[in-house]
Chain A
Amino acid sequence: MQRSALAEFLRRNGLLVGFALFVVIVAFDAPAMLGMNNVLSVLRQISIVGVIAIGVTFVVVTERLDLSVGSGLTLLTVLVVEQHNALGPGGAIFMTLLAGAAIGAWNGLLIGYFRLNALIVTLAMLSLLQGLTLWYSGGANVNIQGASESWFPVIGRGALFGIPVPIWVLLATAVAASILLGRSRFGRSVFAVGGNETASNFSGIDSRAVVFFAYVISGVATALGAIIMGSRVLGAQSTIGQGYELTILAGIIIGGTSLLGGTGSIWRTVLGVAMLGFLNNGLLLMGYAYYVQWLVTWVVIIAAVWIDLAAKRGRILA
């Protein structure tokens, strides 16, 4: 079966085309959007979502979900702030990455080795982590103490060669993750398990371990996001990561990574997250109320999955 070239092009790049149109429209209305300052500011804003979405992409390619990243972000941000005050920046970063890996490992154990449903396990984890946050912080806001003497704020607030450090972190994470997913042995196994888990097992791939490590990566990426967050805000409260899981998933889907598993790429995820960021920014610049962002996000998500499906089956309706 041969799809028409146009349908195929639209399927692969439809959103990019739509996004380009949007940018042109906004640029006429609010030229400030394309200014260097605005672009860097948007990229800095999306860096936390972007870094975590990169980790979650591994999970999504294995045909699973991670809804616990939002409350994971909350707990880990509280953790990095508290530990900064107790152990100093180096110790805090190490502890946070370790805790992130542990959260991922716990998810991965239940989903990979015990075969529990990913949606339910990570939804339950969302609740568990929220509870742990409240227990750990007592519900109070926490703040970085002695920020002026610490190098910790550089991560969220510094700049290198005129570009904010969070953007560098996002870029470095994306490069490393892209090599891991696209070129490494592990990455190949992730695609195989997501594409056909049974066939992967018949090929001697231990799908349990692959799923386990995908969740560990997701957990470590969440910790990285939390470190940027803590350093940016210089504090945390128990709602700081609320709703992030949905924005992250939206970015991944808009990027074109299928929830059916077996396909996807890190750069597409970064692109999806960036598109969402610029979309919201553009709407704000054009003077629309904040709630409009939420409505437009709905349009973009539906358009993303629908274009993909419609082009695959060659028809608009099922």
Chain B
Amino acid sequence: MRDAGTHYTQPLDKPVLKLDGITKVFPGVKALDAVSFDLRAGEVHALMGENGAGKSTLMKVLAGIHQPDAGRIVHNGVEVRMPTPLAARASGILLIHQELSLSPELSIAENIYLGAWPTNALGILRKRKLNRDAAAALHSLGCDYNPRARVGTLSIARKQMVEIARTQAFNANVVIFDEPTASLTDTERDQLFATIRDLQKRNVAVIYISHKMDEIFQISDRITVLRDGKLQGTVDTADSDIDQLTRMMIGRDLDSYFTRATGQTGPEVLRLEGLGCEGCFKDVDLSVAAGEVLGLYGLIGAGRSELAEAVFGIRKVSAGRIFWMGREITPPSPRKAIDMGLCLAPESRKEQGLVLGMSGRDNITLPHLRDFSRLLMMRRTHETEVFERYRGILKIKTSGPDQRVADLSGGNQQKFVLAKWLCKTPRLLILDEPTRGIDVGSKSAIHALIAELAEQGLAVIVISSEMPEVLGVSNRILTMSDGRINAEFSGAGMTEQALIDAVSAPT
């Protein structure tokens, strides 16, 4: 164990860390394609890109969680490998996760030194030394927490400080922050930034991942942008602006890529008035009409998925009124929602959307078991007919009705999620992140389908964190931030800049 207090000193311009041609392939997706970038001691280097651009994968490669399929990592001038997260931490690279990686039942000190506790010759934990070292690490960050306190009792900001204390405890020279401010208040964010500046003064190199433009410009020295797993370039923050970064992040001609419904709207299908849900969102007013595609844009944690789940009956509504086809209804159960034609294709297809061990056919009919059975018995042939119909319509690549969906690619799995809801023509379809993690070809097929469905008179709500997607498919867009709908855009008003401004506006 090295003492907190001694630090690496390096000339400022020499890279402390260099990534060279890092490639990482997951089944069906090239998550990183020959990405190179370098990190100087004492700088804050922002990493930007849309969801799925490869930022998190790159950082996991650095932190020893994933092994690259090609490429080199050069750390302090030596080529290294990071076989495990512990190895990465031992060499001074520390990843601070978006969802913090702390054990709530352990003490602050035990968490700081998680997996590297000081022990005596008999393997007995040296509690006094542990608590003393932890107190020293916390003190150097200006925190006076009791190292014996249980982590579960701390606020999120304080938990984050406990993670940051590891930088002192392990004498880290590279610290990666993944969306650190997602659940912080403004004051807590300012404290975090002060801590980052402090790290910077001690010559620690910081990688800062965030979607929030204002933060990037406030804290970073240089910015590297990724898109679809490829490096788009590194720029000095001082010479850059929001427009340039947005172009680098999105970088394609939107109109040729997306299909938008004509926007001939019919009667209103769903209207929400002042809808609220404890701890998720409040005062949500929203209405969507037949034939319309309504986009719902916002950052992760803004409350969009929670809103969809509340309308669908998975979450309890605590305030407000719901109108369905012009008539007020009580908050439905999922069963009732499905029966009246309100369907939700949820955010996580593996956890919420599909029963992976079941066949494609059984997954399609799962929400409609009553319609596919007679005298309590399932009608197999009828199920197979519907399976074959949607296999054709959605061009699903599967070996047959009995193939387990677990064995299919993400894009084909997503098509099964859609088929589940389409096979009993709904009136309103809420699509939460309909194209997350699927390849470009399947993406545009799903976008075309959304437009087609709307033109057939379906009301569609598309929730997405991918700005080009929301801009490309929607007739109207609502932005959500901190659990509230804060702006509405339509027609020519729907621009990237407008959306960015709306969701990153301080609240």
> Which A residues fall within an 8 A CB radius of B?
1, 179, 183-189, 191-192, 195-196, 198-206, 262-263
B411 contacts A by Cβ under 8 Å: no
Say whether A204 contacts B357, CB under 8 Å.
no
Most chain A CB atoms below 10 A, which of B333, B344, B377, B407: B377
Say whether A203 contacts B376, CB under 8 Å.
no
Residues from chain A with Cβ under 8 Å of B356 in the complex = 195-196
Bitwise, B360-395 to A at CB < 8 A (1) or not (0) is: 001000110110010011100000000000000000
Of A179, A183, A196, the contact of B355 (CB 8 Å cutoff): A196
Measured CA separation A283–B504 after assembly (Å): 74
Given A185-B370, A188-B369, A204-B335, also A199-B353 (CB < 8 A): yes
Residues from chain A with Cβ under 8 Å of B377 in the complex = 179, 183-185
- Nearest CB of B to A311, in Å: 15
- Nearest CB of B to A42, in Å: 33
Measured CA separation A218–B260 after assembly (Å): 53
Most chain B CB atoms below 10 A, which of A185, A191, A203: A203
Q: Would you list the 6 A-B pairs with minimal beta carbon distance, nearest first?
A: A195-B355, A204-B335, A203-B367, A204-B338, A196-B355, A203-B366
Measured CA separation A200–B355 after assembly (Å): 7
Residues from chain B with Cβ under 8 Å of A188 in the complex = 362, 366, 369, 378
Residues from chain A with Cβ under 8 Å of B366 in the complex = 188, 192, 199-200, 203, 205
B141 contacts A by Cβ under 8 Å: no
B420 contacts A by Cβ under 8 Å: yes
Measured CA separation A211–B346 after assembly (Å): 23
Q: A187-B378, A195-B357, A205-B367 given. 13 additional CB < 8 A pairs?
A: A184-B376, A185-B377, A185-B378, A188-B378, A192-B355, A192-B366, A195-B358, A196-B356, A196-B357, A199-B352, A201-B334, A204-B338, A262-B355
Q: Which residue of A lies closest to B312 (CB)?
A: A202
- Nearest CB of A to B55, in Å: 27
Measured CA separation A1–B406 after assembly (Å): 11
Measured CA separation A186–B27 after assembly (Å): 35
Of A191, A204, A205, the contact of B358 (CB 8 Å cutoff): A191
B337 contacts A by Cβ under 8 Å: yes
What are 13 pairs between A and B in contact, CB < 8 Å? A1-B27, A185-B373, A185-B376, A185-B377, A191-B355, A195-B356, A200-B355, A200-B366, A201-B314, A202-B352, A203-B334, A203-B366, A204-B339
Residues from chain A with Cβ under 8 Å of B373 in the complex = 184-185
- Nearest CB of B to A169, in Å: 23
Say whether A196 contacts B351, CB under 8 Å.
yes
Q: Which residue of B lies closest to A202 (CB)?
A: B352
Q: Which residue of B lies closest to A187 (CB)?
A: B378
> DSSP majority for the A interface?
helix
Of A179, A185, A198, A201, the contact of B369 (CB 8 Å cutoff): A185
Measured CA separation A198–B347 after assembly (Å): 12
Measured CA separation A164–B397 after assembly (Å): 52
Say whether A183 contacts B378, CB under 8 Å.
yes
Residues from chain B with Cβ under 8 Å of A196 in the complex = 351, 354-357
Residues from chain B with Cβ under 8 Å of A205 in the complex = 335, 366-367, 369
- Nearest CB of B to A312, in Å: 11
Of B337, B352, B378, the contact of A198 (CB 8 Å cutoff): B352
Say whether B352 contacts A262, CB under 8 Å.
no
- Nearest CB of A to B430, in Å: 11
- Nearest CB of A to B196, in Å: 37
Residues from chain A with Cβ under 8 Å of B314 in the complex = 201-202
Measured CA separation A185–B377 after assembly (Å): 6
Measured CA separation A179–B375 after assembly (Å): 13
Given A185-B376, A185-B378, also A206-B354 (CB < 8 A): no
- Nearest CB of B to A203, in Å: 4
Measured CA separation A54–B46 after assembly (Å): 59
Bitwise, B320-362 to A at CB < 8 A (1) or not (0) is: 0000000000000111011100001010000111111110001
- Nearest CB of B to A193, in Å: 9
Q: Which residue of A lies closest to B349 (CB)?
A: A199
Residues from chain A with Cβ under 8 Å of B339 in the complex = 204
Residues from chain B with Cβ under 8 Å of A183 in the complex = 377-378
Residues from chain A with Cβ under 8 Å of B351 in the complex = 196, 198-199
Residues from chain A with Cβ under 8 Å of B407 in the complex = 1
Q: Which residue of B lies closest to A260 (CB)?
A: B357
- Nearest CB of B to A309, in Å: 15
Scan residues 472-496 of chain B and give those whose CB is less than 8 A from a CB of chain A. Answer: none
Q: Which residue of A lies closest to B374 (CB)?
A: A185
Given A184-B376, A185-B377, A195-B356, also A206-B335 (CB < 8 A): yes
Say whether A192 contacts B358, CB under 8 Å.
yes
Measured CA separation A186–B370 after assembly (Å): 10
Q: Which residue of A lies closest to B380 (CB)?
A: A183
Say whether B370 contacts A263, CB under 8 Å.
no
Measured CA separation A206–B362 after assembly (Å): 17
Of A184, A204, A263, the contact of B378 (CB 8 Å cutoff): A184
- Nearest CB of B to A187, in Å: 8
Residues from chain B with Cβ under 8 Å of A187 in the complex = 378
Say whether A263 contacts B357, CB under 8 Å.
yes
Given A184-B377, A192-B366, also A199-B334 (CB < 8 A): no
Residues from chain A with Cβ under 8 Å of B367 in the complex = 203-205
Measured CA separation A191–B356 after assembly (Å): 11
Residues from chain B with Cβ under 8 Å of A195 in the complex = 355-358
- Nearest CB of A to B344, in Å: 7
Measured CA separation A110–B36 after assembly (Å): 55
Q: Which residue of B lies closest to A191 (CB)?
A: B358
Say whether A199 contacts B354, CB under 8 Å.
yes
Measured CA separation A199–B349 after assembly (Å): 8
Residues from chain A with Cβ under 8 Å of B355 in the complex = 191-192, 195-196, 199-200, 262
Measured CA separation A82–B407 after assembly (Å): 55
Measured CA separation A189–B358 after assembly (Å): 11
Say whether B335 contacts A202, CB under 8 Å.
no
Of B27, B344, B352, B369, the contact of A189 (CB 8 Å cutoff): B369
Residues from chain A with Cβ under 8 Å of B27 in the complex = 1
Say whether B337 contacts A204, CB under 8 Å.
yes
- Nearest CB of B to A161, in Å: 29
- Nearest CB of B to A1, in Å: 8
Residues from chain A with Cβ under 8 Å of B369 in the complex = 185, 188-189, 205
Most chain B CB atoms below 10 A, which of A1, A184, A185: A185
